Structures are given as C-alpha cells and as structure tokens.
Amino acid sequence: MLKTVSGFSKLNKFEKIDWLVSTFFNEDEKIKRVLEQYWNSNKVLQDLHDDFIENTISNFYIPFAIAPNFVINGKDYTIPMTIEESSVVAAASLVAKFWSTRGGFKAEVLSTTKIGQVHFMYEGDKKELQKYFNLKKEDLFKATESITKNMRKRGGGILAVELRDKTAALANYYQLHVTFETANSMGANFINSCLEAIANEFKKDDIQIVMSILSNYVPECLVRAEVSCRVEELYAENAELFAQKFIQAVQIANAEPHRAVTHNKGIMNGVDAVVLATGNDFRAIEAGAHAYAARSGKYKSLTNASIENGIFKFWIEIPLALGTVGGLTALHPLSKLSLQLLENPSAKELMEIVAVAGLAQNFAALRALTTTGIQKGHMKMHLTNIIKQLGASEDEKQFLIKYFENKTVTHNAVVEAYNKLVQDK
C-alpha cells in the first residue's frame, strides 16, 4: 500500500486519524482510542492546542511538576518544571533545600544582547562595499522604524549594524551583523522582521541577499548563577574529600569532551524543564548553550568550581535568550500559570531562575557521582516505572517498593522479584 497522501493538511482531524489508522495500523480501532483519550474534554482548550502546530491529531502529555525551596537573591521561589525523566525534579528540590540553609543561590544577568544577520554574496571591490554600507547605514535604521516603534517604547530596539567581511571562510561571503535588545520578549519574530526590512533596503544589483535570520547563538545574552559555603558545610562525612572530588569532576568535564557532553546534558535537564514550562523555545536554548560550551574551540563544561580560603564556590555562565511576553507565554494556560507561580518575572529574572535550575541539577548530579553513584538514586525513582511496565497490581507495587527499600534497583532485579512474587501466590 502507498503511504503517501495528497492534500493531507486540508483534512479535518478525524479524517487525518482515519487515514493514519488505515494506512499504518490495519484499521485498528484501539489506535483511534489511544489518540482520542488524550484529547482535552474542554473543546475550547483542545481547539487552542490544535492551533499551536499543523496536522494535530492528539496531545502528547509530559509531566508538569514543581520544585520548592529555591532561594535566589534572597527571594523564595517554587520553580515549575516540565520533563519526563525520573529524578530530575526530586534532585532539584533536594539541592534547593540544601542551599537554602547556606545562603541560597546568587544570580546576575551579565548582558542581554541578541543577534541577527543578513547573509549576502558580493564579488566586487571591498572598499566600494564599505562605502555603500556607510552611505546606507542610516537608511537601514529608518527602514525598520515602523517595526521597532513599540519595542523602543519598552527600552528595546536595534543596538548596532555592522558590515562583516567573511570571505576568509567562504568566497564572496559578507554579512550585516545586527544586535538587538528585546526587553521582556524573546524577540524572534521582531528580529527577523527587522532583518528582512534591512535586507530589502540594502540590496542592489551586485549584492545577492541569501537569507536574513536571527542567530540562536547569543554569547552576549548571558547570565551567571552561583552558590558558595565553607568547605566543612558541604558534606557530613568527609567534606574536604568531597569538595576535592567535586572539583576534579568539573575539571574532567573541561578536559574530556565525552564527559563534558553528558555533564552539560544534566545541566540542560534543569534548564529545559523550566524553559518548556514557561513556554520558551528549549531547542534554541540547547543549541545556544552547547555552542557556548565550545566557544574556545573545545567543548567544555558550562559550570566551574573552586576552593579559595576554605570557601567552596560553584557557578555557571550560560547564554539564555528568554521571554516572558509573546508566543506560548501568552497562549498556553500552563505557561501562563508557570509565570504567575514565579510572580510574573521579567525576562532578566527568568534568565536568573533558569540558570539556577541548571546549576542545581548539575550540583545534584556531581554530588551523586562523587559519592554514592548516579544509579542508586536514579533507579530508585525509576522503580515505579519498571513496576508499571510489568503490569503489577497496587498490592504488588507496594510490596516491591518496600522490598527494594534497602536493595540495589536494577531492571533485572525488579523483574525477578516480581516473577517470584507472582509464582508464590
């Protein structure tokens, strides 16, 4: 059977599902029920979700959770997190409580500049191009005035436009490098609209505009978060050894890219969960953060640690282009709720909160790795998922949870314990 279709986008949701089930699932009515059981019973809310993207046939739910007890710059926060991975929220909550009694987290936005570029080809004389740019520069700003008017009222707008010669990297390649301030908006649509207006004003016969687009690499939209305490306050059993191993773990991530990728992935567990919960673009944040981790030419840790004069310090610097107005932040009910939970932060405040979530997650991971190991806590959290996969009853579930209270949890161990439980009945 052919698995291609014409005019699919014009079909209604029921017709899309009928085509899907008949083409891929042999008319299995169970598939329809699976898709339909995730529809929201509130039609207005379901219609809203259907309009977020194209060809919607159902909703894919990811748990929405909260991590309490965060103290950031002296203020208490309960942080919303949307993630499917076991132990992330628990780890964040435990670390938040730990640092709340040690002065909490300190966070500071270092800069908020965002970037967009007009990419073009030019085969003529470089000096003539520079003369043309100098002549047109004021007109480039004027061309965007109608777009930037409202943004300028909020303290944003275009900061600068530069002509950059990139011919060393690619023959005949130049760009207009444009920097922006977008206030509380992430600003993607604003930036792209400005760039297209600039490109249209700048183009001429011997300038071939290739594309105009924002960059998700924003090394000047940067936030720093940190925690610190005396070494002896870090760990009950052997604080000095723990601190030494903790710093060595960060050093290893800076020395070994294979480790650095997993190290930073753990940071992004915390970052992405808050970014997603607040209706921001976690793919853009991921791309920008990993590019920043490789800015030296070698992929390294986003966090660092030190001990000076008996004080342990742990910090992160990470680029975060976030918004608290526009996009899903104004449309998705849970995104709006998340921002209300955070007491309607500005974009800068949200940057600080998200950076703290990433730092907390990394602290939890490194503490586990350098003490008991990562799997003990992770598999304890994963235990209930394994039990569900086995189809255990509620009584069997409670028995297995109690059985593994002081035992190592592995998938095979849980399966064996479950099978024995069933056989002994």
pLDDT value at position 76?
A: 98
Give the pLDDT score at 373.
Answer: 61
| Spacing of C-alpha 42 from chain mean position | 29
- Whether 55 is covered by a domain: the verdict is no
Cβ(61)–Cβ(95) under 8 Å? no
103 vs 379, which has greater pLDDT? 103
* Closest by CA position to 109, among listed 418, 347, 423, 379: 347
Residues 98 and 168 in one domain: no
| Type and span of the H or E element at 288 | helix 282-293
Which DSSP helix (H) or strand (E) runs through 400?
helix 394-403
**pTM of this structure:** 0.88
> Residue 381 pLDDT > 70, yes or no?
no
pLDDT band of residue 379 (cuts 50, 70, 90) is low
13, 97, 245, 265: the active-site residue: 265
Looking at 168, 185, 214, which one is the last position of a domain?
A: 214
In this prediction, residue 370 carries a pLDDT of: 92
φ/ψ of residue 349, rounded to 5: -65, -40
The reply to whether 255 falls in a domain is yes
**C-alpha to C-alpha distance for 208 and 309, rounded to whole angstroms:** 59
- Residue 317, H or E segment: strand 311-319
Q: Is 281 marked active-site?
A: yes
Question: pLDDT, tens digit, for every residue of 140-176?
Answer: 999 999 999 999 999 999 999 999 999 999 999 999 9
State the average pLDDT for the chain.
Answer: 93
Domain that holds residue 30: 8-50
pLDDT at 294 over 70: yes
Instruction: Give the model's pLDDT for residue 1.
Output: 59
User: Of 325, 327, 319, whose CA–CA distance to 346 is shortest?
Assistant: 325
> In terms of Cα–Cα distance, which of 286, 329, 368 is closest to 185?
329
Same domain, 242 and 330: yes
Residue 49 is among the residues annotated as catalytic for this protein: no
Name the residue with tokens 């052997």. Answer: 238
Residue 256: pLDDT band (50, 70, 90) is very high
Report the C-alpha gap between 255 and 238 in whole angstroms.
26
Region of residue 67 (phi > 0: left; psi between -120 and 50: alpha; otherwise: beta): beta
What pLDDT shows up at residue 412?
A: 82
> Within its chain, how far is the Cα of 209 from the centroid?
32
Tell whether 165 and 278 lie within a shared domain: no
**Would you state the pLDDT for residue 408?**
76
Task: Tell me, yes or no, whether 345 and 236 share the same domain.
Answer: yes
Q: Are residues 175 and 276 in the same domain?
A: no
85 catalytically annotated: yes
Q: 13, 32, 49, 85: which is the annotated catalytic residue?
A: 85
Give residue 413's pLDDT. Answer: 82
Please identify which of the residues 196, 226, 272, 281 carries the catalytic annotation: 281
**Is residue 18 flagged as an active site residue?**
no
Residue 377 scores a pLDDT above 60? no
* Structure confidence by residue, pLDDT tens digits, 315-370: 999 999 999 998 888 889 999 999 999 999 999 999 999 999 999 999 999 999 99
- Coil, helix or strand for 62? coil
